[in-house]
């Protein structure tokens, strides 16, 4: 297990380097000048040159990348062009809020999706299977931003049960562990959980259905094992693949919630990323994309190690 972990850690290094290069270049090749948002329209050529030099944009791209990586190694992501505040503080504050939203959605989605998947897998070709399949397809197909708007209309506008915007009372952008703030988390978390519920349910259904047709399951029944004992064996055999899907979904929940955060005005990384794109805030854009990408890389590493711990056969591949 230790040698497998070391191999996976070694493979992460070139992936992380490639991710950093892609993040840097994708932002650099985007059209437009990032300094147009803060420079006056009548700025002279000397003022423009001084501003570009202050942000290091007058240097060749390889030099800019080397400086950027060197600053990152020291924990310095630069300063936001739009606000002048350190990028690290803004990014990590937003990522914490996005992580809170993603984990809350995962807590809702993964148990429900797993239960529905096993229920459908054990009831193959029955009305239960067809109902779960229809619900799963509907959950995957419905645009989550549209669902968020519908939930706001029903539970916020018409019924007045739940707030619709912000992370706290009065549209607050800060978070605290109390009921007033938790109420703001319910609608975006439920909206974000709908798609992974469908994906996890369909995955677990397919896994459970295939495993139940295997010879060893029939052998377990022939030995007189109860349905609950057989279910534990089926769950263990399905766990590695299901865990892989759940890990990827958690990464998507964190990085792909930009529309949900915009609908609910949730102060997360997606909301920050959309603002950085519209403001052409180069340092903030690079920092946000890099942190989200590295989280995805770390999530894949954790899932790989967890899979190997559950199924030792993976360590030999």
Taking only the tens place, the pLDDT of each residue in 19-64 is: 888 877 776 666 666 666 566 666 677 777 777 777 677 777 788 7
> What's the residue count for the chain?
317
| pLDDT score of 268 | 80
Burial of 9 (0-12, 13-18, 19+ CB in 10 A): exposed
> What SS3 class is residue 277?
helix
Q: What is the pLDDT of residues 231-256, one digit of tens each?
A: 787 877 787 778 888 888 887 887 76
CA gap 49, 190 in Å, rounded: 49
Instruction: Please write down the HEC assignment for all residues of 191-223.
Output: HHHHHHHHHHHHHHHHHHHHHHCCHHHHHHHHC
Q: Which two tokens stand for residue 151?
A: 């939930």
Is-contact 191 144, C-beta < 8 A? yes
Domains of the chain (ranges, CATH numbers): 2-73 (no CATH), 88-310 (1.10.3720.10)
Task: Tell me the whole-structure pTM to 2 decimals.
Answer: 0.77
CA 97 vs CA 23, 238, 263: distances in Å: 22, 32, 15
- pLDDT for the residue 144: 83
Q: Is 70 exceeded by the pLDDT of residue 315?
A: no
The structure tokens listed for 165 are: 């915007």
DSSP secondary structure code for residue 174 in this structure: S
End-to-end Cα, the chain, rounded Å: 12
CA atoms within 13 A on the CB side of 273: 23
Q: What pLDDT band is residue 278 in, cutting at 50, 70 and 90?
A: confident
Task: For residue 113, count CB atoms less than 10 angstroms from its CB and return exposed for 0-12, middle for 13-18, buried for 19 or more.
Answer: buried
């Amino acid at each position: 297990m230790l040698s497998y972990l070391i191999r996976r850690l070694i493979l992460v290094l070139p992936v992380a380097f490639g991710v950093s290069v892609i993040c840097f270049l994708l932002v650099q090749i985007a059209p437009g000048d990032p300094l147009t948002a803060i420079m006056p329209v009548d700025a002279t050529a000397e003022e423009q040159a001084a501003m570009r030099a202050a942000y290091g944009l007058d240097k060749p791209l390889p030099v800019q990348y080397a400086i950027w990586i060197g600053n990152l190694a020291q924990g310095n992501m630069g300063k936001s062009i739009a606000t002048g505040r350190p990028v690290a503080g803004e990014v990590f504050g937003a990522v914490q809020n996005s992580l809170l939203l993603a984990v809350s959605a995962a807590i809702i989605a993964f148990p429900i999706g797993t239960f529905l998947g096993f229920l459908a897998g054990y009831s193959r070709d029955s009305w239960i299977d067809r109902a779960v399949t229809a619900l799963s397809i509907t959950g995957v197909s419905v645009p989550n931003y549209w669902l968020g708007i519908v939930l706001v209309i029903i539970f916020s506008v018409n019924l007045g049960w739940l707030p619709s915007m912000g992370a706290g009372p009065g549209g607050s952008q800060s978070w605290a562990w109390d009921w007033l703030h938790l109420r703001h988390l319910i609608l975006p978390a439920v909206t974000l959980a709908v798609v992974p519920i469908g994906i996890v349910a369909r995955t677990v259904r397919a896994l459970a259905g295939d495993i139940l047709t295997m010879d060893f399951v029939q052998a377990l029944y022939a030995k007189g094992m109860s349905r609950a004992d057989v279910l534990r064996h089926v769950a263990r055999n399905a766990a590695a693949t299901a865990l892989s899907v759940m890990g990827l979904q958690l990464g998507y929940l964190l990085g792909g919630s930009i529309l949900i955060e915009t609908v609910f005005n949730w102060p997360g990384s997606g909301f920050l990323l959309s603002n950085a794109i519209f403001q052409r805030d180069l340092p903030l854009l690079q920092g946000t994309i890099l942190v989200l990408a590295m989280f995805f890389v770390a999530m894949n590493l954790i899932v790989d190690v967890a899979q190997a711990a559950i199924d030792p056969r993976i360590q030999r591949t």
